[in-house]
Amino acid sequence: MLNLSRIRILTIGKQRPGWWQEAATMYSKRLPGLEIFELKDSTVEKEGIAIINCLKNNEKLILSSEEGAQYNSREFAQKLNSLTVDRIAIAIGGADGHSKSLKEKANLIISLSALTFPHELARLILLEQIYRSSTILQGGPYHRD
């Protein structure tokens, strides 16, 4: 079963109030133990340094980036489940994405889509997919093939 207390989401920028925040809060409540940590937006290089400095000991870094590996929901659930043996931090970049040096330090780069999303929407999609992964692994009815 997916160990949510071993997952942190690191996101550049704050969640704006409104429907973004309401939806993210709804999924966060369904994911007890999952932590979201907001970092200040800046230059790509400074954001990369902030992400690295935010990592805990032995925490694996996963970046969300449009050029990363794409998974369907079942594959993503299995990938997350296999990775949460360790602690993982999934980082969502700012408007300009992630720096080359941060990408080189990442343990894995995933893509939520080939499309580009504002960071609030990327956060919401990631939260929904983590919730979906949790229900897939538990055999719940939320995900339908």
Reported as a single tens digit per residue, the pLDDT across 64-83 is 998 899 999 999 999 999 99
Tell me the residue range of the domain where 77 lies.
Answer: 4-138
Task: Tell me the one-letter amino acid at 12.
Answer: I
Would 108 be classed as within a structural domain? yes
Would 144 be classed as within a structural domain? no
Model confidence band, residue 119 (pLDDT cutoffs 50, 70, 90): confident
Would 117 be classed as within a structural domain? yes
Count of domains forming the chain: 1
Task: Give the Cα separation of 23 and 121 in Å (integer).
Answer: 10
Would 44 be classed as within a structural domain? yes
> Which DSSP category does 55 fall into?
P
Residue 145: helix, strand or coil by DSSP? coil
Looking at residue 118, what is its pLDDT? 87
Q: Is 112 in contact with 126 (CB distance < 8 Å)?
A: yes
| CB-based burial, 82-98: b 16+ in 10 Å, e otherwise | ebbeebbbbbbbbeebb
Task: Tell me the one-letter amino acid at 145.
Answer: D
Q: Is 63 in contact with 102 (CB distance < 8 Å)?
A: yes
Looking at residue 59, what is its pLDDT? 95
Q: Can you give the pTM of this predicted structure?
A: 0.94
